[in-house]
Amino acid sequence: MKILVTGGAGFIGSAVVRHIIDQTQDNVVNVDKLTYAGNLDSLATVSESDRYKFEKVDICDRASLERVFLDHKPDLVMHLAAESHVDRSIDGPAAFIETNIVGTYTLLEVCRQYWNGLNAEARARFRLHHVSTDEVYGDLEGSDGLFTEQTSYAPSSPYSASKASSDHLVRAWNRTYGLPVVITNCSNNYGPYHFPEKLIPLMILNALERKPLPVYGKGNQIRDWLYVEDHARALYKVLTKGSVGETYNIGGHNELENIEVVHTLCDLLQELVPPSSSQKLDTVNHYRDLITFVKDRPGHDLRYAIDASKIERELGWVPQETFETGLRKTVLWYLDNHDWCARVQDGSYQRERLGAGVKA
């Protein structure tokens, strides 16, 4: 099959592209605008494959999207392109409205036009898989409840509100026009190639540079953590095996307070790169000493937790990594990939967007 992936240069999108190229015989067309979060370095291991193509296109640009569909004739579409950082959505919500809502609308209309023009066999095969977040549900009270596929939406931030809006559009295009869609809502991802504004890579890189480790409020916000390669496997399974019109929640079964995550990271670094091994840490005895509590973000949700029993029951997916095994793999990856991290931090990855090995 030929799979068109929007946002395939992002954190989760690049994991999906690598999974498809490495673990299947399918072809991938990666459609990405290459904002700050799009990094072609994350696709270096697959960019030379003759089953991979790259298109630098904004999903809000309908004419360019229509050209991509006509040129590549995808069998399936996985939609991951989105603005996704909550803090950025609070400081500047306009980009989130444009990409997450208008961009999704534009993609839906291009998909509908394309799907209507297919022959019967291709129409029956076509799917649009919309990838969303558990943040659309708001937060949970107490310690026992879980988000299910029937949980009412109650978004708290401009980011989650824009994703909730895009989910509603996708469902409406299925119900009104019959467009074959599936939706997934996932918990917090972590793993290799994660942009360092997010909690786990930020803590790793700050600790290695002996910078403060900023933790919002008391650090008691609870999240369910999902290893990104487990998520990529789940997304591919939903795309190829999920039932049209259905929603599947994807979680890692790892509920932890943010401060627990930071403590675990500090302890892992203490084991793998102890302070005594570096002159840079001669004033710090333990990475935990770098933790600094900062003012909480506005409207910060306290707890997210996913009930992922539907995808396990219907599609047979379960995460392969525990938080402990996944986090160790993540830390080791960052320790072994200084060049990737340095290029992100100094911005050189953006100055060389269309470098060697990219197939446009």
CATH H superfamily, domain 2-351: NAD(P)-binding Rossmann-like Domain (3.40.50.720)
| 93-136 pLDDT tens trace | 999 999 999 999 999 999 999 999 999 999 999 999 999 999 99
Half-sphere exposure of residue 49: CA atoms within 13 angstroms, side-chain side: 23
**Contact status, residue 8 vs residue 43, Cβ threshold 8 Å:** yes
How far apart (Å, rounded) are the C-alpha atoms in residues 318 and 322? 11
Tell me the C-alpha to C-alpha distance, in Å, between residue 99 and each of 34, 54, 93, 165, 279: 12, 19, 10, 11, 45
pTM exceeds 0.75: yes
pLDDT in tens, 187-221: 999 999 998 878 999 999 999 999 999 999 999 99
**Has 159 been annotated as catalytic?**
yes
Q: Which residues make beta-bridge pairs with 116?
A: none
Exactly one of 58, 134, 139, 255 is catalytic; which is it?
134
DSSP structure class, residue 286: -
Among the listed residues 52, 105, 159, 349, the single catalytic one is 159
Would you say residue 358 has pLDDT above 60? no
Please identify which of the residues 32, 83, 135, 230 carries the catalytic annotation: 135
Annotated active-site residue 135? The verdict is yes
Show me where the domains of the chain are located.
2-351
Report d(CA 177, CA 173) in Å as an integer. 5
Q: How far apart are CA 111 and CA 346, in angstroms?
A: 37
- Mean pLDDT for 65-89 is 95
Count the helices and strands in the chain (H runs, E runs).
Answer: 14, 12
